[in-house]
Chains A and B, each alone.
Chain A
Amino acid sequence: MPIQYYITLSIVLFCIGIVGVLTRRNAIIIFMCIELMLNAVNLLLVAFSKMHNAGAVGSDANPTAGVDGQLFVFFIMVVAAAEVSVGLSIIVMMYRNTHSVDVNFLNRLKN
């Protein structure tokens, strides 16, 4: 399949994520949208990695070309997992105190 399909798909997913973060009011859903953004990036990195690999085989025949893109994906996954563990516990702490995960409640700090 041409690379354009992958790029389009991941850009679309990324934009869904951004729009979700900006419009939704539920902290969990906002969080899911952020994860969607990260995974869109993962998809894009893997697609580019494959593209660079295919490009290299023709010219200088380096079989490991483009591997670093896939390596990066693993790091993103690990960091995202760390972020999930911290983020969910923050949301749980918030829920225990206010019995709500609606970010509209977050207005105590204005003024």
Chain B
Amino acid sequence: MNTIILSAIFGVVMMFTGIFVENKSAYRHIAAIALLLLLGFNIAESGHYNIFKIDTGYFLHFEKFGLLFNSVCIFSTLIYVLLSGRDIEKVGKNVAESFALIFFVLCGVGISTSYTNLLMLFLGIEIISIPLYILTGSEKRNLKGNEASLKYFLMGSFSTGIMLMGIAMLYGSGGSFLVEKLSVARLSYLEALGMLLIFFALSFKVSVAPFHFWTPDVYDGAPTVFTSFMATVVKVAGFAAFIRLFESRYGSMGGQTEHLIALAIILTLAFGNLTAVFQQSVKRMLAYSSIAQAGFMMFALFAVNDTAKEGLLLYAAAYSLATIGIFAVLAKMDDMTFEGFNGLAKSQPLIAALVAIFLLSLAGIPLTAGFFAKYYMLSAIVKTGSYLGLVIIGVLFAAISAYYYFKVIQAMYFKEGEEIAFAPVTLTFKYLLLGVAVVIVVLGIYPNALLSLLYF
């Protein structure tokens, strides 16, 4: 409860700072402090320290997994604000409002990681989505941004409509919005259709094929800083909402849904990876790679056991941190094609090395967090004992993904380039980036550093 209420309050506070504080660079410091407080109170909540004693009865239920997931999201946002705060200031005129919207998104994240009622699922997903429509279009004069924002808005609200229809159908057949009540042995047609519609709508939100088509356009058109936020925190929060629905629900459904999810996984991995190979722009490549990574996170929804939940948590941390790091560097560059990275290792040796670590983590090379994230996902499938073919497909596509990640590394280290237009970075930026890389490597050697928090 701390996270939900405090993030909403901090959002309002940020809006008022926009009125009363003139100094633009003060906003990101205030936002960082607020995020730090939010993180602290969220961790305090897992130690049963609540500021707000509210009976959330049949609507929300706070447990370790959801709270830890919140912590991962808030921590990633903190890193994001610290790394990219300066770039947020460059987008649009109303900087404080951008930060306020980021806090509102975190409020939605808090709801959608711990709902027990379909009403809260709907509210959580909407509170996440609506600020994002605004953030996507926050560069008013940029036609590409406008287009991305309109497209995202139309697609997003269309999928909301579909999700609501699914919820209405579940209500019609069961007479309740509670997620647990839905688990019955036999499924009526109305319920099955309702679950299917909700599945489609959530697939839309986390860009799982065949509902991924808006993703590359929107991620490409949005201002680069906000693409970073959308592709990381928001996407993993969508998966947290997804797995909560699945653990109480699809477990009892058996057979048919497994086929459906397996199909969605294969399609997502195939579309994401194969299209990413042919991209010229690194930003667009990362958009497709985020679809591919969504395919890997879908493995958790297929398996739905303890390993899968641990894996999803680790994946969320590894993927978010690495992607935020790469985008923070990308936002400093003018030329976002692969050629733009030529010879980066010469002019910015430290940054190039760190970007290489992030890319290795995304590809899932051992000694980085990405390796264990993928390992947990695949071993979750092995534990279910069925569909072992999926594991082979997963490994194959992971190998393909290495190709386009290594293309960037190759450009940085083995190609000569003319003088790179690289915006000046501060020493703090470099040290922070180094810190993120250290976290990734530590998680890659000792993943229990994060996972043991689930159990004590």
Task: Please measure, in the bound complex, the distance between the C-alpha atom of A108 and the C-alpha atom of B147, giving whole angstroms.
Answer: 8
Cα–Cα distance between A104 and B130 once the two chains are bound (Å): 24
A14 to B134 alpha-carbon distance, docked (Å): 27
* Structural contact, A108 and B150, CB atoms closer than 8 A: no
Q: Contact: A76 with B154, CB < 8 Å? A: no
Given A41-B161, A106-B151, A109-B217, CB of A93 within 8 Å of CB of B146: yes
Counting CB contacts under 8 A, is B435 at the interface? no
Are the C-beta atoms of A75 and B123 separated by less than 8 Å?
yes
Is B137's CB under 8 angstroms from A93's CB? yes
A45, A86, A97: which contacts B146 (Cβ < 8 A)?
A97
Q: Is the CB of A94 within 8 A of B147?
A: yes
* C-alpha gap A105/B146 in the complex (Å): 11
A44 is contacted by which of B137, B144, B172 (Cβ under 8 Å)? B172
Known: A48-B171, A82-B130, A83-B130. A75 touches B143 (CB 8 A): no
Given contacts A41-B161, A45-B171, A65-B175, contact A86 B154 (CB under 8 A): no
Q: Tell me the bound Cα distance from A37 to B160 in angstroms.
A: 9
- Chain B hits for A69, CB < 8 A: 171
Pick from A68, A83, A93, A97: contact of B177, CB under 8 Å: A68
Does B158 make an interface contact (CB < 8 A)?
Answer: yes
Closest residue of chain B to A87, judged by CB? B153
**Complex: chain A residue closest to B163, CB-CB:** A41
Contact of A87 among B157, B171, B217 (CB under 8 A): B157
Whether A86 pairs with B153 at a CB distance below 8 angstroms is yes
Indicate if the CB atoms of B158 and A34 lie closer than 8 Å: yes
A98 within 8 A of B: yes
Minimum Cβ distance to chain A for residue B146 (Å)? 5
1/0 per residue, CB under 8 A from A, across B30-59: the answer is 000000000000000000000000000000
Number of A-B residue pairs at CB separation under 8 A: 117
Chain A min CB distance to B219 (Å): 10
Chain B residue numbers with a CB within 8 Å of A37 are 158, 161-162, 164-165
| Cα distance, A103 to B161, chains bound together (Å) | 20
In the assembled complex, B186 has its CB within 8 A of some CB on chain A: no
A27 and B150 form a contact (CB under 8 A): yes
Residues of A close to B146: CB separation below 8 A: 90, 93-94, 97-98
Closest residue to B280 on the A side, CB-wise?
A111
User: For the complex, is B119 an interface residue (Cβ under 8 Å from A)?
Assistant: yes
Residues A48 and B123 in contact, CB atoms below 8 Å apart: no
CB-CB contacts below 8 Å: A60-75 with B: 65-66, 68-69, 71-72, 75
**A26 CA to B133 CA, complexed, in Å:** 19
CA distance A79 to B157 in the complex (A): 10
Q: Which of B150, B151, B216 has the most CB of A within 10 A?
A: B150
**Chain B: interface secondary structure?**
helix
- In the complex, what distance in Å separates the CA atom of A72 from the CA atom of B167? 10
Structural contact, A75 and B154, CB atoms closer than 8 A: no
Tell which of B119, B126, B140, B148 touches A109, judged by Cβ atoms closer than 8 Å. B148
Give A30 Cβ to nearest chain B Cβ, in Å.
6
Indicate whether B62 reaches chain A with its CB closer than 8 angstroms.
no
Check A109–B164 contact: CB distance below 8 A.
no
Q: Note all chain A residues with C-beta closer than 8 A to B133.
A: 86-87, 90
Q: Are A94 and B172 in touch, CB under 8 angstroms?
A: no
CA distance A9 to B265 in the complex (A): 36
B8 to chain A, nearest CB (A): 14
Residues from chain A with a CB closer than 8 A to the CB of B144 are 108-109
Q: How far is the CA of A66 from the CA of B217 in the complex (A)?
A: 42
Q: Could you tell me if A41 and B165 are in contact, using CB atoms closer than 8 angstroms? A: yes
Contact across chains for B157 and A83 when beta carbons are under 8 A apart: yes
> Of A21, A48, A79, which contacts B172 at CB under 8 A?
A48
Cβ–Cβ < 8 Å partners of A27 in chain B: 150, 154
Across-interface contacts of A68 in B (CB, < 8 A)? 119, 176-177
Specify the chain B residue showing the minimal Cβ separation from A11: B165
A72, A83, A91: the one contacting B171 at CB < 8 Å is: A72
**Is A106 a contact of B150 with CB atoms below 8 Å?**
yes
Interface hub of A7, A48, A66 (most chain B Cβ within 10 A): A48
A91 to B141, CA, bound (A): 13
Question: What residues on A are CB-neighbors of B191 within 8 Å?
Answer: none
Contact residue among B140, B141, B143, B162 (Cβ-Cβ distance under 8 Å from A108): B143
Chain B residue numbers with a CB within 8 Å of A51 are 172
Q: Which residues of A contact B167 (CB under 8 A)?
A: 41, 72
Taken together as a complex, chains A and B put the C-alpha atoms of A76 and B197 apart, in Å, by 17
Q: Is the CB of B143 within 8 A of A98?
A: yes
Which one of A7, A45, A79 has the highest number of Cβ atoms from chain B below 10 Å of its Cβ? Answer: A79
B97 at the A interface (CB under 8 A): no
What are the 3 A-B residue pairs with the smallest beta carbon separation, nearest first?
A37-B161, A109-B217, A48-B172
Given A51-B172, A86-B134, 5 more A-B residue pairs with CB atoms under 8 Å apart are A21-B154, A34-B161, A72-B171, A87-B153, A108-B147
11 pairs, CB–CB < 8 Å, chain A vs chain B: A27-B150, A34-B157, A40-B165, A41-B168, A44-B168, A55-B175, A71-B119, A90-B137, A90-B153, A106-B150, A108-B147
